[in-house]
């Protein structure tokens, strides 16, 4: 690998990691709300019931205070740093490598889709253990089968009680969720190109924010059910398990909760992910630009 290519990979890794970190701090409370709503199946006696975004925020604030709103922030940060670093590095590397011979860098939708799916699969597989821990932190309470003191304690406890398989619960639906980025990033690239050439759009930053928000919303709505299934599978710590894989989870949720069960927490998810994606992508683009300016100065 050339020095120039190494610099490019490092640049995108740093930019992606810092961008993910910025969005994690800002949107963590909504992430907690979304995760709790996703994890809420058919109500059982004595179970805490959450109702909507504002109702859940209010209950969490009343019962748990500010700490409740930021549960899971530690593993979220640890997860975002490698996830976005891996994602943007692989995505940019694949996009540039596979498009280098056709002269259509910004217009080749096949390259954008395959790059997005490859990057998504790589980052998801490598970081899944952190997302299992993050999900459990956000949903743990006095009634859950798990109770962790911190991220390290969660790692040790899961390793001891569930083995390596415990860290990869929910990986199946997460990989199915790669279709999310396969929709989002090609749409983002196309919208960014169109908006940046539109005289009515005042600046490059506005074009990036608009393109990232629209593409994220469309992709989230199209692929949301996999998130509910993933959350349910990740939160199963002790046997007997209620859900025995993806297909069984689909069957149980359908019977107990109906079609709406697959979309629990989606309004909260859109409130969280659309600004989060916009912040992440804008921060990433700005950092890449600044690194390039520093390099060329």
Q: Please tell me whether residue 122 adopts helix, strand or coil conformation.
A: helix
CA angle in degrees (0–180, nearest 5) for 86-89-93: 135
Pull the structure tokens for residue 77.
């940060």
Token pair 């699969």 in the structure block, residue: 121
Q: How far is CA 148 from CA 78, 88, 154, 206, in A?
A: 16, 31, 5, 42
- Is the per-residue pLDDT at 9 higher than 70? no
Least confident of 6-15, 63-72, 159-168, 203-212: 6-15
Q: Catalogue all structural domains in the chain, each as residue range(s) with its CATH number.
A: 3-296 (1.50.40.10)
> Max alpha carbon distance in the chain (Å)?
65
- Is the per-residue pLDDT at 179 higher than 60? yes
Nearest to 133 by CA among 149, 122, 118: 149
Mean of per-residue pLDDT scores for the chain: 87
- Is the per-residue pLDDT at 81 higher than 80? no
Q: How many angstroms separate the CA atoms of 182 and 115, rounded?
A: 8
Least confident of 2-11, 23-32, 152-161, 237-246: 2-11
Residue partners of 253: CB distance under 8 A and separation at least 6 = 41, 228, 229, 232, 261, 262
Give me the pLDDT at residue 18, please: 80
Residue partners of 29: CB distance under 8 A and separation at least 6 = 57, 60, 69, 70
Give me the pLDDT at residue 175, please: 95
Task: Name the pLDDT band for 219 (thresholds 50, 70, 90).
Answer: very high
Give me the pLDDT at residue 3, please: 52
Task: Name the pLDDT band for 21 (thresholds 50, 70, 90).
Answer: confident
Give me the pLDDT at residue 2, please: 56
Nearest to 158 by CA among 132, 135, 188: 132
Give me the pLDDT at residue 132, please: 97
Give me the pLDDT at residue 275, please: 78
Give me the pLDDT at residue 268, please: 94
How confident is the model over 139-153, as a mean pLDDT? 90
Residue with more model confidence, 58 or 18: 58
How confident is the model over 196-200, as a mean pLDDT? 72
Cβ–Cβ under 8 Å, residues 136 and 151: no
Q: Please tell me whether residue 150 adopts helix, strand or coil conformation.
A: coil
DSSP 224-243: THHHHHHHHHHT--SSSPS-
Cis previous bond, 191, omega within 30: no
Cβ–Cβ under 8 Å, residues 274 and 217: yes
- Read off the pTM: 0.83
pLDDT by residue (tens digit) across 96-115? 888 765 555 455 778 888 88
Task: Name the pLDDT band for 87 (thresholds 50, 70, 90).
Answer: confident
Give me the pLDDT at residue 36, please: 96
Q: What is the chain's length?
A: 297
Burial string for 235-269 (b: 16+ CB within 10 Å, else e) reads bbbeeeeebeebeebbebbeeebeeebbbbbbebb
How confident is the model over 206-227, as a mean pLDDT? 89
- Is the per-residue pLDDT at 123 higher than 90? yes
């Amino acid at each position: 690998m050339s020095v120039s290519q190494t610099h490019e990979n490092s640049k995108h890794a740093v930019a992606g990691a810092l961008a993910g970190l910025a969005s994690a701090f800002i949107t963590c409370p909504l992430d907690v709300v979304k995760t709790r709503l996703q994890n809420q199946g058919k109500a059982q006696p004595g179970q805490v019931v959450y109702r909507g975004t504002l109702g859940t925020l209010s209950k969490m604030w009343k019962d748990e205070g500010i700490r409740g709103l930021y549960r899971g922030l530690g593993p979220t940060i640890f997860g975002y740093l490698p996830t976005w670093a891996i994602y943007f590095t692989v995505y940019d590397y694949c996009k540039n490598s596979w498009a280098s011979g056709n002269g259509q860098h910004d217009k080749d939708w096949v390259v954008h889709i395959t790059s997005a799916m490859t990057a998504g699969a790589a980052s998801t597989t490598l970081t899944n253990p952190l997302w299992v821990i993050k999900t459990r932190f956000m949903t743990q309470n006095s009634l859950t089968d798990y109770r962790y003191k911190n991220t390290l304690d969660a790692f040790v406890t899961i390793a001891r009680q569930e083995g390596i398989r415990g860290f990869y619960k929910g990986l199946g639906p997460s990989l199915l969720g790669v279709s999310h980025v396969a929709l989002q990033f090609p749409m983002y690239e196309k919208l960014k190109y169109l908006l940046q050439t539109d005289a009515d759009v005042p600046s490059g930053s506005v074009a990036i924010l608009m393109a990232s928000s629209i593409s994220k919303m469309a992709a989230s709505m199209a692929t949301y059910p996999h998130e509910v299934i993933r959350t349910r599978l990740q939160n199963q710590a002790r046997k007997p398990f209620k859900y025995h894989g993806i297909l069984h989870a689909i069957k149980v949720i359908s019977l107990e909760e109906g079609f709406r069960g697959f979309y629990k927490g989606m309004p909260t998810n859109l409130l969280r992910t659309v600004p989060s994606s916009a912040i992440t992508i804008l921060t990433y683009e700005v950092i890449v630009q600044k690194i390039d300016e520093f390099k060329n100065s």
